[in-house]
Structure 1
Amino acid sequence: MLNSAIGRFRLSGFIEGASLLILLFIAMPLKYMAGVPEAVTVVGSLHGFFFVVYVLVIGYTTLKIRWHFKWAAGALAAAFIPFGNLVLDRYIKRSFPAQ
């Protein structure tokens, strides 16, 4: 998976998407229902780091394989939607099967 730009993109998308889901469905309820605000501080910081790495990998992938602008814009938009990276990953696997 890490042998190609698409593979690295897919891995970073999975990590970023998972961190968003953990933030939304675990850390936020812990903060507001259980009174543990530290969960959002820690998970939010990690998610922020993973998001920055994801955006950099989008740029790298766009330059490396000469992605069309729609792929880069779609990848960035998917980062803001819960489960968006999983949906995008299905399109990536279909459109770039050899990579």
Structure 2
Amino acid sequence: MDLKTASALRRLRLVSAPEAVSFLVLLLCSVLKRTTDFDAVPVMGMIHGLLFILYVLFWLDAWNRVRWPLKTAAWFFLMSVIPTGGFFAERRLRRSQDDAVIAARARREGVVNA
């Protein structure tokens, strides 16, 4: 995995958890708006919208660089629209990133798969 690919995955991983948190907070603000006088939906909606746009842009960049199969790319996109899905995406991306680092070290040290 080259540096640009690793950077694309890292960016997607780093935005996935905040995007998931903002989605949950937006849902909470929606409930509070309807049950109390507290109305933070416009502000939280803008924050979540920006994070969602970043997630989609980083997802497209990662998909382009990693060349995921359609099923994998669709799974990562689906995780952006499901509440708490970003946490699952972050975990899977971290695991993939760790596997890629291990494989790169093995190639560098001359270890060949048996």
Q: TM-score range by the shorter chain?
A: 0.7 to 0.9
Taking every aligned residue pair, what percent have the same amino acid on both sides? Answer: 36
Three-state SS of the structure 2 residue aligned to 1:52 is: helix
- For structure 1, the 5+ residue unaligned runs are none
More helix by share: 2
Three-state SS of the structure 1 residue aligned to 2:38 is: coil
Give the equivalent residue in structure 2 for 1:55. Answer: 56
Size of the alignment, in residue pairs?
95
Give the whole-Å Cα distance in 2 for the aligned partners of 1:96 and 1:62: 14
One-letter identity of the residue aligned with 2:62: T
Deviation at 1:90, TM superposition (A): 2.0
Three-state SS of the structure 1 residue aligned to 2:68 is: coil
Larger Rg: 2
Give the whole-Å Cα distance in 1 for the aligned partners of 2:58 and 2:52: 10
One-letter identity of the residue aligned with 2:82: I
1:6-60 CA distance string (max 9 Å, x none): 11110111121111011112x12321122223x0111011111111111111001
Give the equivalent residue in structure 2 for 1:89. Answer: 90
Which aligned runs of 4 or more in structure 1 are off by greater than 4 angstroms?
Answer: none
Q: Which of 34, 37, 49 pairs up with 2:36?
A: 34
| Contact kept? 2:13, 2:89, Cα under 8 Å | no
Give the whole-Å Cα distance in 2 for the aligned partners of 1:11 and 1:96: 12
One-letter identity of the residue aligned with 2:36: A
Deviation at 1:69, TM superposition (A): 1.8
- For structure 2, the 5+ residue unaligned runs are 1-5, 102-114
TM-score with structure 1 length normalisation? 0.82
Give the whole-Å Cα distance in 1 for the aligned partners of 2:13 and 2:77: 13
Deviation at 1:71, TM superposition (A): 2.2
One-letter identity of the residue aligned with 2:24: L
Kindly report the root-mean-square deviation, in angstroms, between the aligned alpha carbons of the 2 structures: 1.7
One-letter identity of the residue aligned with 2:66: I
